[in-house]
Amino acid sequence: MTAAENEWLETAMSYAPVIMFDKNEPFYPDLVGVSVLEHSGPSPSFRREIQFPPEAVRYVIEYAIWWDYEIGHLYEMEHVWVYVGHDGEVVDCEASFHGKVLRGLLRDRVNLVDRHVCLYSQPGKHAFSPLPVVFELLPNLYSAAGAQAGCDGLLVNEMFQPYFQTSEQIDARVMKYLQTKAFVPSMQFEEYLLRPEMFMTWDKLFTLIPQRIKDCLRELEQLEET
């Protein structure tokens, strides 16, 4: 890793979001891939264009937050974008929400503490919102964490199609395991801090993902055999 990459990682950690997880949450983040955009352009790890006025924003830090599991399928990646001004203050924040993007910073900035934006994670599914009440509007809030646990098996999105595939057998194995993790969201949340050792460049995280998937599948196969 270059000196510049190390410097950006340290900067990213100093602005990292604080995530609030349900007290019954079974899965916490495993790794965080960091990208820093100094100009408007495409996101390295999410299907979107990131646009910002250079006179107001110095750069945008993109956090690709990786889980080996979420309650509905094997692996999850959610995103947070922190917009940093030329004075070092947080100008804005956005966060992923089921393939869409929500504003992450409330208008009165009450969920910003010492440059860290506080976001809530949907129980089990991990979509982000600055307000937990948003999750109450989802019709499958409870069923997704309960009866529907594991229903999507091994998710294979467009980004990872060249690296791994699924099958009925794999999906069934994933579903069987995740059904053992089914839970009832308490809707009571606790603070979680991303640890320094979790951070790496997005390029490095991307290279690790296929092997992590293979390792998870091997563990599930061994678990089934015992």
For all residues of the chain together, what is the average pLDDT?
A: 96
The mean per-residue pLDDT over the stretch 195-199 comes to 97
Check whether 75 has a pLDDT greater than 90.
yes
- Quote the pLDDT of residue 225: 77
The mean per-residue pLDDT over the stretch 200-211 comes to 97
For 10-59, what is each residue's pLDDT tens digit? 999 999 999 999 999 999 999 999 999 999 999 999 999 999 999 999 99
For CA atoms 125, 127, 133, 138, give the dihedral sign.
Answer: negative
The SS3 assignment for 40 reads: coil
The mean per-residue pLDDT over the stretch 190-209 comes to 97
- Quote the pLDDT of residue 48: 97
Measured in whole angstroms, the distance separating CA 181 from the mean position of its chain's CA atoms is: 19
Check whether 148 has a pLDDT greater than 80.
yes
Check whether 158 has a pLDDT greater than 90.
no
Query: What tokens does 197 get?
Result: 């050792």
CA distance 73 to 171: 9
The mean per-residue pLDDT over the stretch 137-154 comes to 98
Check whether 226 has a pLDDT greater than 80.
no
Query: Strand (E) positions, the chain?
Result: 18-22, 31-37, 41-42, 49-50, 59-69, 74-84, 90-97, 100-103, 112-113, 116-121, 128-129, 189-193, 199-201
The SS3 assignment for 68 reads: strand
CA distance 207 to 153: 22
Confidence label for 1 from pLDDT (cuts 50, 70 and 90): confident
- Quote the pLDDT of residue 157: 86
Check whether 210 has a pLDDT greater than 90.
yes
Query: What tokens does 213 get?
Result: 């998937």
